[in-house]
Amino acid sequence: MDNLSIRFVFDRRNEIAKGKTVAPLHIEVRQDKSTKRILIPTGIKLKSTEFTPKNGFTCKNHPNASAITAKAHR
């Protein structure tokens, strides 16, 4: 059985570069040795200053940072 790799993807459509202030956070799931991926929307939108890929994903500089980080990791 193949292993799965999971990572958080922020602003995959470059919405912030196109002038928007917030962008969605997705979870990307891949099978090892495969180029196919599944993107799962989390329903969380963040500014670029609030996202850090540290420890998988950690929200920073947001009033509800701990709640958003906990929701994303569920």
Domain that holds residue 19: 4-73
pLDDT of residue 24: 92
39's CB contacts (< 8 A; 6+ apart) are: 9, 12, 26, 27, 28, 29
Q: What is the mean pLDDT of each run of 10 residues along the chain (74 residues)?
A: 82 87 91 88 89 79 82 78
Q: What is the pTM of this model?
A: 0.74
Q: Which residues contact 60 (CB under 8 A, 6 or more apart)?
A: 49, 50, 51, 52
**What pLDDT does residue 65 have?**
84
Number of folded domains that form the chain:
1
pLDDT of residue 1: 53
